[in-house]
Structure 1
């Protein structure tokens, strides 16, 4: 059996009587791409917020690398290597791609807020910044102003800034949302590429993306786990088809 990097037990979040996440037992294998899917309002984003402690669970336990992190603050969890894309991927539109990645890298130096330091003091980060841009296919645009990028390349830059934090577990919240077909294809392949040697937990609506790259899928409905398994298992589950399509004879492939 593979090594489990993240595990939850009876993870639950209630809001004034409404249960958004209900007794979720999640198990993410190290080195896998694990997708969290479900209809709108299924509790996917709430689950992400609980894992990164942007919300406090009503009950339940979260283990990361075998350590109970349930009571830790978001910053402590990030330092452990659980990095959620939006936390540090709010890219600065008027800075270059290189400057955006260097800012993300600064956090490892412990000089994040030394804005008065000479810019030359950051030159030692240039090599790593270029390598990260190379990894996401943007090295040729290192000096381009981020504002000028098309949407798909901005998302690729966000992935580069996430990688700069050296995540052990990357949480990607709908990485292909709002993209055209070409960008979806490009970012899907990029996620597959950067997953080598890393673990990714992602929320994603696009079933083609899920079928292409996810090793394991957890389906949520009304805050609870409805089904779990590989794409073939999940896509043929009548309950999952009904949750997505409102019918048991529909095809999950058509759901987004």
Structure 2
């Protein structure tokens, strides 16, 4: 019997990432404590909290740059707690860092082509003849068009404005065909205009994709996130949609006041 495609509604109800009792200690200091988190497929799940809340540590645990002191991580039905960072990436968990992670002296198109090399089975083999990569130009240009950078295809990444560099990074991340995108402060250091542009871009190009996002800007979170988890001192203090968490007394005390003071 031929299998039927999974509907968007079914995807949204399927848990693709789950942490159980996830904990990280650093010589007596507990940065992340007993985190039980579920992320449903096809949703944007935001992680917020004041400085030192444990957000980046949690991200580093997910991508195995840190080893948990206790607890487990399950992705797409598999226990990945003790997998290496490269194995996590191969399973489709791709992280975008706070600092733009593109090759500054390559063009926008060349940056996207490098990410697309996985489709040729020659990923990151820079000594291959450049003509081999020409077959990726159309796909690279389509991705650049999607993020509004088609006219900058020949421009070196170092010459792009900051907001456009982040757009390029999103294009290269999408090119890797992630099952889960981890966006680490995607609007960090941006002007108000760039924040709006990148927020619109994320909402448009990642629709239907699964994203866990650390973000300090509450306007961005409120406009993008389907679900929000609030951390404080390494623990979850609230979870729900924006309306629910923004009126939670613990959140207002721990986070919202400092955010509005920025």
TM-score range, shorter chain: over 0.9
* Structure-1 separation of matches of 2:152 and 2:27: 48
Structure 1 residues 113 and 198, CA gap change in structure 2 (3 angstroms): closer
Matched with 1:164 is 175
Give me the CA root mean square deviation. 1.7
TM-score (normalised: structure 1): 0.94
**Aligned ranges 1:234-253 → 2 under 5 Å:** 234-244=245-255
SS in 1 for 2:127: coil
TM-score (normalised: structure 2): 0.92
Count of residue pairs the alignment pairs up:
251
SS in 2 for 1:72: coil
Q: Would you say 1:177 and 2:183 are equivalent positions?
A: no
* Structure-2 separation of matches of 1:204 and 1:255: 16
C-alpha displacement of 1:141: 1.0
Matched with 1:254 is 260
Q: Unmatched 5+ residue regions in structure 2?
A: 1-11
SS in 2 for 1:50: helix
Matched with 2:87 is 76
Structure 1 residues 88 and 110, CA gap change in structure 2 (3 angstroms): farther
* Structure-1 separation of matches of 2:37 and 2:149: 34
Offset from partner CA, 1:79-104 (integer Å, 9 cap, x none):
11110013996211111100011111
C-alpha displacement of 1:61: 0.8
Offset from partner CA, 1:91-122 (integer Å, 9 cap, x none):
11111100011111113433234322211010
Q: Unmatched 5+ residue regions in structure 1?
A: none
Offset from partner CA, 1:21-77 (integer Å, 9 cap, x none):
000001001111100000000000000000010101001011111111111111111
SS in 2 for 1:53: coil
* Structure-2 separation of matches of 1:108 and 1:202: 26
CA contact (8 A) 1:89 1:159 kept: no
Offset from partner CA, 1:160-179 (integer Å, 9 cap, x none):
11111100100000000000
